[in-house]
Structure 1
Amino acid sequence: MKIAVVVLAAGASMRLGQPKQLLPYQGKTLLRYAVETALSVGPVTVVLGAHAEQIAPTLNSLPVTIILAEDWQEGMAASLRAGITAVADCDAALVMLCDQPLVTTKLLAALLHAWEPGSIVASDYGEALGPPCVFDHAYFPELLALTGDSGARKLLNKYPCRTVAFPGGRVDVDTLTDWQGL
C-alpha cells in the first residue's frame, strides 16, 4: 500500500498579516515543524501558494515534493485539489495542515494504523471531526471536485469515518493571539 502525506500550506494568512508558515515554533518555522513531523510517517508533498517564493527555501534540505496551487486564492479546496492531484497514484492520502502545531508523530501513526482500504479516518476533536485525515483513493474524485474556501469537512459529514482522538485539534494558528498562546 502506498500512502502519501499532503501538507497544505498555500494560504495567505490574511488574519495574521504575515505568512504563518514562517512563524518560529520549537526552533523551526511552523511549516518546517509540521513537515518534519509528517516525514516520520511517509513521503511528503507540500502544497504552497501565497508567499511560495519566501516559504519554499525553508524546506530546501528536506526530502519533500513541493507543488504550487496555482489558484490558491480560491481557498482550501484549491490546495486540496493540487495536493490530491500530485498523489493521485497512491492508495490513500494523509492530509494535514501546516498550522496545527499539536500534531504529533504518534497521532499521524495512529491515523494511518486506523486506515483500511475504502475508509476515511478523521481526527476527533471531541465536538467535531477534522484534519489530519486519511482519505482512501476512492474519495479522491470527490476531493478533486471541491470548490471554494471549504475543505474536506463535506466528506467527513457525508460518510462514516473511523476516528482517532485528537483533543488538541482545535488549536491552530490563524491570528497573532493564537501564535502567542503557543
Structure 2
Amino acid sequence: MPAIILLAAGASTRLGRPKQLLRYHGQTLLRRAAETAIAAAAGAAVVVVTGAQHHALLPELAGLPVTVAHCPAWKQGMGASIKCGLAALEKHQALPEGITLMLCDQPHVTPALLQQLAATHVATGRAIVACAYASVHGVPVFFSASAVPLLRQLPDEAGAGQLLKRHSELVASVPFPQGAIDVDTEAQYAALLAGE
C-alpha cells in the first residue's frame, strides 16, 4: 500500500480556531483523519504534518502509529508542508510505491476511498489518481512513485491542485461527491454537524 501524508499544518485563519480540533462523531477531525489513514495504509507509513498548532495537536495523535513532522515553513503554504512530509517519509524508509495526500477537514473520507485511489492507479496505469467533486480534481490524491518528483518541485505556496491541472494527462479520477464537504468556516462546521 502507498504511504499516506496527512496535512494538518494550517492555522485555520478563516475559521478562527484550529479546525483540526473540531469534533465530529465524538472525535476531533484530526484523530478521525489519522485513524482513517492508518486503516487505509495497512501497515505502510503514515506521516502527519503539523505547523501552526503543533503542540495542541500532539495529544490527538498520542498512541497512534504515525510519524509527526513539524513543518517550520508551514506559513509558506501547502507545498512546503507536502515537501516536509516527503522528507519525513524518506528519513524512515526508502520511497514507497506511492504516496496519498489527504487533509484533516474532509470528514467523509474513508479507508475504502483511499484504497480505491491506489487500486485505480493499478487498473488504469495513470501515475496520479485524484478524487472528483464539484467539477474539480482534488484531494485525497494518489501519486505513484514515478509522479512523486512532481511533488518535490512544487513551489512552497502551491498545493497539489496545480499539478493536477498542469499534468491532466497523467490523472485518473475516482468520484467522491462528498469531497466538496470541508470545514473552512463556522457555517460549514454548523452544516456538517446538522448533517450528522
Structure 2 residues not aligned, in runs of 5+: none
Amino acid at match of 1:153: G
* Residue equivalent to 1:108: 114
How far 1:64 moved relative to its partner? 0.7
**Aligned residues of 1:69 and 1:79 also touching (Cα < 8 A):** yes
Residue 37 of structure 2 corresponds to 38
Is the Cα–Cα contact under 8 Å of residues 6 and 83 in structure 1 kept in the other structure? yes
Counterpart in 1 of 2:176?
Answer: 166
Which residue in 2 is equivalent to 1:131? 139
Q: Which residue of 1 aligns with 2:104?
A: 98
Out of 154, 162, 168, the position equivalent to 1:154 is 162
Following the alignment from structure 2 to structure 1, what is the Cα–Cα distance between the partners of residues 71 and 120?
A: 29
- 1:58 aligned residue (32, 57, 60): 60
CA distance in 1, matches of 2:144, 2:20: 27
Is 1:126–1:165's contact at 8 Å kept on the other side of the alignment?
A: no
For structure 1, the 5+ residue unaligned runs are none
Structure 1 position 82 matched with structure 2 position 84: yes
SS in 2 for 1:17: coil
SS in 2 for 1:14: coil
Please, which moves more after superposition, 17-26 or 148-157?
148-157
Counterpart Cα distance in 1 of 2:157 and 2:184: 15
Shift of 1:126: 4.6
CA distance in 2, matches of 1:59, 1:74: 24
TM-score w.r.t. length of structure 1: 0.94
1:140 aligns with 2:139: no
Deviates further, 155-164 or 165-174: 155-164
Is 1:120–1:162's contact at 8 Å kept on the other side of the alignment? yes
Q: Match of 1:49?
A: 51
- Greater helix proportion: 2
Residue 150 of structure 1: CA displacement? 2.3
Pairwise CA RMSD: 1.4
Is contact 1:87–1:93 with CA below 8 Å preserved after alignment? Answer: no
Specify the alignment match of 2:74 in structure 1: 72
Name the count of aligned residue pairs.
181
How much does 1:148 deviate? 3.9
| Residue type at the aligned position of 2:187 | T
2-structure distance, mates of 1:133, 1:18: 26
| TM-score normalised to structure 2 length | 0.87
8 A Cα contact 2:40 2:112, kept in partner? no
Answer whether contact 1:118 1:138 (CA < 8 A) is retained. no
